[in-house]
Amino acid sequence: MIEVDRAGRSFTVGRGRSRRTVHAVQDLSFTVEAGEFVGYLGPNGAGKSTTIKMLTGILAPTSGRIEVAGLDPLRRRTDLTRRIGVVFGQRTTLWWDLPLKDSFELVRHLYKVDRNDFRRRLDELADLLDLSGFLHTPVRQLSLGQRMRGDITAALLHDPAVLVLDEPTIGLDVVSKAAMRAFLGRLNAERGTTVLLTTHDLGDIEKLCRRVMLIHHGRLGFDGTLDDLRALAPGEDSIEDVVTHLYTAPPAER
Amino acid sequence: MPRRHPEEAAFPLRARFPSRPRPPSRARPPRHSGLPFSGLLSRTRLPLYARIAWYGFRRHSAYRTAALAGAFTNTVFGILRAHVLIALWEARPGLAGYDVADAVTFCFLSQAFIGPMQLFGGGLQLAERVRGGDVAVDLARPASLQAWNLADDLGRAAYLLLLRSVPPTLVGAALFGIVFPTEPAAWVFFTVSFVLGVVVSFGWRYLVALSSFWIVDDRGTQSLSLVLMMFFSGMVLPLNLFPGWLGTLAQSLPWAAMVQIPADVYLGKRDALEAFALQALWAAALLVLGALATRAARRKVVVQGG
């Protein structure tokens, strides 16, 4: 469903003498099969968001090849948007000053969703994500948790085969987080939607992901199951300690 | 009994997803084949953009007080400017082909244009979204960034026309008496010229906003744009007061399309078709430039923020 083959992205920053090239992502290769739920981890600045932006066709890779849902994200961006849903947890696609429902209506036009399909899916999602209490509330009045549920709904109304989530639980309280996880887990298990999730919350990973990828300094450092990951640092107890150990240990040990 | 995971109780999970992964046997429309959508832009996207314009209108209606405060300011300054222009035209009657009534009308029209034409610049959220990185969301949509912003801006202009243009015009009419065209055709011409003016204004402001893809701090471009818009639109002084080549030049630049040309069409001082041609030319030129700049931005874009 997602194929990344030796993809790289570099940026030129600074001017004059301080001009230099930053490799945000280097030589990145992985494959995600249909129906997988993959966690994509890495410290701040490791290249997670750059990867997501390349997968969604917002950013052109400077090297390598990427294919999502059978399409080149950059050249077939518009077609691709119909097959994937994207949520940037720190941003919103919703109309700030208008009732939530209006943003969904626009999504229907944006993706040319059939009116009946739209109604059925919105009913389902409103039920699952418990939106009915604030469908007619202006988005600026929503709590962060409500807004995030609105954004997830907007990303799913066109029934995408792949869902890409960039920190969907950031800033959420424990209850909202748990609710979000329960929903995503069921979306993947019952609907078969392929999910790629970046997060700093290892609880998300433990609860949801069968497979984890770790990116460090723009390179893929680990790709395997959660158990494999634990086995890498047998001395550590929690998954959090394991990940911290991996990121801070000298490179030879990795 | 298997214990329910506490997370499952977090929402009242009444509904279930409709069954397991899609059964391949059932003949579904080839939703993920890509074929039906290949001619995206060739098919009409009018319902989408009409809806965006309507949302733009309503988005601004959330800030009614700000619009009314703007209308008040525009009216007060209109009265001050009218007195200055009256003094000027009484000293030099017939200056630039206007009589006193024309000059006062020009004054209140230009005040009325401030809102819809967004003569002080801005009006688009784009620059801020580029700086903050929110533009990533916009770029991820299956829609043209430029058309999306244009539709939104037309909605904004329509709202501000109601709230910020009508009050100063009425006050001007009541206090000074302004010229009202009597022929219906004149109103049609004015409407066309006005809409073209808004599109030219959008074309210009879109380019200014887009500059923040390359220049992170857009304050410089914004203030340069402000000076150009104020001075060369006819907002500060009617362009037909500009002497010689400067006047000719100013009358043919894009900013003239925002105030001077629609005002002249209203006053019947300019051939309507000639006016439309110049405005349409600038609208097309700026929109094409905007489209090219959007493509360039997409290609070399550095989306800010994580």
A residues 24..43 contacting B (CB < 8 A):
35
Segment among A64-78, A99-113, A195-209, B289-303 with least mean pLDDT: B289-303
pLDDT tier for residue A244 given thresholds of 50, 70 and 90: confident
What is the bridge-based pairing of β-strands A211-216 and A84-88?
unpaired
Residue type, B18: P
Give contacts of A91 with chain B, Cβ < 8 Å. 133-134, 136-137
pLDDT tier for residue B300 given thresholds of 50, 70 and 90: low
Q: Is there a contact between B140 and B79 (Cβ–Cβ < 8 Å)?
A: no
Q: Does A97 contact B38 at a Cβ distance shorter than 8 Å?
A: no
Segment among A227-231, B31-35, B188-192 with least mean pLDDT: B31-35
Give contacts of B32 with chain A, Cβ < 8 Å. 69-70, 82-83, 161
Distance between CA atoms of A105 and A44, rounded to whole angstroms?
Answer: 35
> In chain A, whose CA is at the least distance from the CA of B34?
A79
- Tokens representing A65 are 């090849």
Segment among A41-50, B29-38, B273-282 with least mean pLDDT: B29-38
A and B: number of Cβ contacts within 8 A: 126
Mutating which of A106, A118, A132 best tests the B interface, going by the most B Cβ atoms within 10 A? Answer: A106
Rounded to 10°, the helix A100-110/A115-128 angle is: 140
Give contacts of A70 with chain B, Cβ < 8 Å. 32, 34
Give contacts of A207 with chain B, Cβ < 8 Å. 7
Token look-up 């009308």 returns B105
Give contacts of A138 with chain B, Cβ < 8 Å. 62
Give contacts of B58 with chain A, Cβ < 8 Å. 97-98, 102
pLDDT above 80 for B303: no
A residues 68..127 contacting B (CB < 8 A):
69-71, 76-79, 81-83, 86, 88, 90-93, 95-98, 102, 105-106, 109-112, 124, 127
Q: Does A90 contact B47 at a Cβ distance shorter than 8 Å?
A: no
CA of B286, closest CA in chain A: separation in Å?
24
CA of B56, closest CA in chain A: separation in Å?
10
Structure confidence by residue, pLDDT tens digits, B155-191: 999 999 999 999 999 999 999 999 999 899 999 999 9
Distance between CA atoms of B189 and B174, rounded to whole angstroms?
Answer: 24
Ranges of each domain in chain A: 1-83+208-254
Segment among A114-118, B4-8, B210-214 with least mean pLDDT: B4-8
Residues in chain B: 306
Mutating which of A56, A97, A169 best tests the B interface, going by the most B Cβ atoms within 10 A? Answer: A97
Residue type, B149: N
Ranges of each domain in chain B: 45-296
Mind spelling out the 3-state secondary structure of A141-188?
HCCHHHHHHHHHHHHHCCCCCEEEEECCCCCCCHHHHHHHHHHHHHHH
Q: What is the CATH number of domain A1-83+208-254?
A: 3.40.50.300
Q: Is there a contact between B263 and B236 (Cβ–Cβ < 8 Å)?
A: no
Token look-up 């399909």 returns A117
pLDDT above 90 for A42: no
Query: Which ipTM did the prediction report?
Result: 0.88
> In chain A, whose CA is at the least distance from the CA of B7?
A178
pLDDT at B22: 44
A residues 147..206 contacting B (CB < 8 A):
159, 161, 175-176, 178-179, 181-183, 186-187, 190-192
pLDDT above 90 for B281: yes
Instruction: Among A58, A78, A95, select the one facing B303 at the smallest CB separation.
Output: A58
CA of A172, closest CA in chain B: separation in Å?
13
Please enumerate in sequence order all residues whose Cβ is within 8 A of that of B244, keeping only pairs 6 or more positions apart, or say none. none
Structure confidence by residue, pLDDT tens digits, B146-156: 999 999 999 99
**Three-state DSSP class for residue A248:** helix
Q: Does B134 contact A111 at a Cβ distance shorter than 8 Å?
A: no
Instruction: Among A138, A178, A190, select the one facing B17 at the smallest CB separation.
Output: A190
> In chain A, whose CA is at the least distance from the CA of B16?
A128
Structure confidence by residue, pLDDT tens digits, B196-223: 999 999 999 999 999 988 887 778 889 9
Distance between CA atoms of B265 and B277, rounded to whole angstroms?
Answer: 12
CA of A236, closest CA in chain B: separation in Å?
26
Give contacts of B63 with chain A, Cβ < 8 Å. 97
**Three-state DSSP class for residue A210:** coil
pLDDT above 90 for A103: yes
Residue A140 carries which DSSP code?
G
